[in-house]
Amino acid sequence: MWWREAKPHGNRIALGPLLICLSLALVFLPFSLIHSGWTQVILTEVMVDPDTLEFYNEFVELYNTGTEGVDLAGWRIGDGEELDAIVGAGEGTLLQSGQWAVVLDPGYFGNSTIYDSLIPPQALILTIEDAAFGQGGWSNSRSEPVILTNPKGDTVQFFLYPTGTPPGHSLEKINLTANNDLSNWAVSRQFRGTPGGPNSVTPLENDLAVRRFRLLQQPVLEGQSVDFEATVLNRGQQARAATWVAFYDQNNNRVPEPAERVRQDSLPPLAPSDSLTIQASFPNIPAGTVRFGFAVLLPADQDTSNNVQVVTQVVSPAGLQVVINEILFEPASGQGEWVEIYNPGSVPADLSTLYFADAKDTVHLSAGPRVLEPGAFAVLGGDSALEQQYSLPVGTLVVVRNFPTLNNNFDDLKLLTTGGLELDRVPYTRRWYGREDVAKGTSLEKLNPGFNGRLSQSWSASVDPSGSTPGRQNSVFLTVLPARGQLDISPNPFSPDGDGREDFTVVRFELPVETAFVSLRIFDIRGRLVRTLAEGLPAASHGQLIWDGKTNTGRTGRIGMYLLVLEALNPAKKRLLQLKGTVALVKRR
């Protein structure tokens, strides 16, 4: 604490240089030189750096280890420079056998109450006849001795405390019957210590604790299993066997109720200070905010506060699907940027469990519950004015705090769950528009919510007269009918004239293998190669590619028939099969 001048008092001893030298010399004396009869009253706890009101909240704890009471009238306590008389605080000075005493700074009374609820009623409350312990209170910047003397002036207890104690944490004696070596003292596990009661660092007879509990993977989807690891430590003085339990803490009470338990097994006897690490799994995890719990059960445990640990994780429901469906990264003057998302799945999506990210920033979509129903759109943006700027349907806009600024040339957008599952990703560039003459305020639209958002072929510039379609079906929306054969081209014919009707054709393929490398080339009626849509593209047993009618030079192809040749190679790059089909390119205006 900061030094403050001690108030003059007639009943104190200023030790001077001689006592300083003698006191410091005690550090080098064997503890056995202190008479055994004087050790009935011992130091057990010292608060040298309170977290608040440092002038008033220092304390020293004493304990009577003997079989008879000891009257502490005439006893003194202090540092190497000054000893102060111990006096009663309204309860006398008789310390009974097996009783704790708390010596409080005189300024505590009337200025602080932080220990009132911590000190048990059976503890003896004492104080000193001075304004502070020793010469201006216990120092935080250097080690000082805590000295306790009896009425004869004999040093009964001596403890040289170290520096660096965390504010608000006391130093506690571990083994009360051992000496005051630093190895027998430790920082209290309890904030503000344990004044007037058993020390938190003193081992109990029976005390098993969950030292660590963690999930080994991030659980992201309902129905999955997740592995966990837990370490159980025997902090007690007796070897004990017990039972461990893994449970879902559904009622948030940190108690493994029978209906909540998913795994349970016996724990072999652990010797004092020994530990055991357990690895197991939670099966079939539920959706929602899940509290994964691990507990060790020992009926004779004397400290159950350390028997349970709980980890909270948000788990997305099975079947959750949310995709990025439209992006406005270069708005017209006076308008704002936004991203449209869509739920193509069969289960509602709680936006409070989702995050949106670009190449630089990640933001939470909603602080509170916000449901996106199946088949519904939502528009993400950073300004409520977007609702009027774009005449959005009521309830469509989600104002996202710190919504990222989208790059006009390229960016990498993602939708993520709280558990880290990537629902969708769109690494767009300006070239994805598909044409050069794109005015500001024109959005980038997905041809179909079911298409792969990572591919440029799945996107095109909006052809809506307003430049975008937030909150409703995209202007370039393309429906693909299920294919019955090995190669299907639809629509056929198609007209890539930019009117928003059949501007693209989808080439859908099915292969008799699980994986392959696919190439798709397009030839005109003279057999000349006009476009390569894919070259060695990794593909599953089925897939689709989109032709916008352009040639490899970027120009729209001539009106006429075209031959499409799809070649599939196996993982060894040997040809498996070749599929052919034709499509007509027409112009309707």
**Chain mean pLDDT for the chain:** 89
Q: Is residue 196 part of a domain?
A: no
Q: How far apart are CA 205 and CA 239, in angstroms?
A: 9
- What is the C-alpha separation between 225 and 282, in angstroms, rounded? 6
Residue 30 has a pLDDT of 39
| Domain-embedded: residue 18 | yes
From CA 449, how far away is CA 205, in angstroms rounded? 64
Element (H, E) at 386: helix 386-389
- Report pLDDT for 3: 32
Mean pLDDT of 234-251: 94
Torsion angle of the four alpha carbons 194, 200, 203, 207, in this order, in degrees rounded to the nearest 10: 120
Residues 458, 339 share a domain: yes
Res 20 pLDDT > 80: no
Q: Compare 517 and 545 and report the one with higher pLDDT.
A: 545
On whether both 375 and 395 belong to a single domain, the answer is: yes
Percent of the chain scored above 70 by pLDDT? 90
Segment among 9-18, 196-205, 547-556 with least mean pLDDT: 9-18
In a domain, 399, yes or no: yes
Residues 127, 143: one domain? yes
Q: Are residues 262 and 352 in the same domain?
A: no
Answer with the one of 132, 153, 187 that is the final residue of a domain: 187
Of the pLDDT bands very low, low, confident and very high (cuts 50, 70, 90), residue 6 is very low
Is residue 26 situated within a structural domain? yes
φ/ψ (deg, to 5) at 168: 85, 0
Q: Is residue 84, in this structure, part of any structural domain at all?
A: yes
Same domain flag for 362 and 443? yes
Q: Which of 40-54, 217-231, 280-294 has the lowest mean pLDDT?
A: 217-231
> Is residue 434's pLDDT more than 60?
yes
Residue 6 lies in a domain: no
3-state DSSP assignment of residue 182: helix
pLDDT at 435 over 50: yes
Strands (E), 358-483: 362-364, 371-372, 377-381, 397-399, 413-417, 422-426, 444-446, 459-461
Number of domain units in the chain: 4
pLDDT tens readout for residues 275-290: 999 999 999 999 888 9
Tens digit of each residue's pLDDT (9 = 90 or more) over 54-109: 889 999 999 999 999 999 999 999 998 999 999 999 999 999 999 999 999 999 99
List, for residues 456-504, the tens digit of each pLDDT value: 888 988 888 899 999 999 988 876 544 445 799 999 999 998 888 899 9
In this predicted model, what pLDDT tens digit does every residue of 377-415 receive, in sequence order?
A: 999 999 999 999 999 999 999 999 999 999 999 999 999
CA–CA distance, 491 with 583 (Å, rounded to integer): 9
Rounded alpha-carbon distances, angstroms, from residue 104 to 45, 77, 131, 161, 272: 12, 11, 11, 18, 35
Q: Which two tokens stand for residue 191?
A: 């904030």
Mean pLDDT value across residues 538-553: 86
Q: What end-to-end distance do the CA atoms of the chain give, in Å?
A: 88
| Same-domain pairing of 464 and 490 | no
Mean pLDDT, residues 114-133 taken together: 96
List the CATH number of the domain containing 448.
2.60.40.1260
E strands, 92-249, in order: 94-95, 100-104, 124-128, 145-149, 155-160, 171-173, 185-187, 208-215, 226-234, 240-248
Query: How many residues would you count in the chain?
Result: 589
Give the CATH number, domain containing residue 309. Answer: 2.60.40.10
Check residue 11 and give its pLDDT: 43
Q: Which pLDDT score is estimated for 461?
A: 87
pTM: 0.56
Q: Assess whether 341 and 303 both reside in one domain.
A: no
Residue 439: exposed, middle, or buried by beta-carbon count in 10 A (0-12, 13-18, 19+)?
exposed
pLDDT band per the 50, 70, 90 thresholds, residue 428 = very high
Nearest Cα neighbor of 518 from 509, 530, 527 is 509
Least confident of 94-98, 364-368, 549-553, 573-577: 573-577
Confidence of residue 122 (pLDDT cuts 50, 70, 90): very high
* pLDDT of 14 over the 80 cut: no
**Residue 419 pLDDT:** 76
Is residue 308 in a domain? yes
- Structural domain contains residue 416: yes
| Structure confidence at residue 308 (pLDDT) | 98
- Tens of pLDDT, residue by residue over 511-520, are 877 567 889 9
Q: Which domain holds residue 524?
A: 478-589
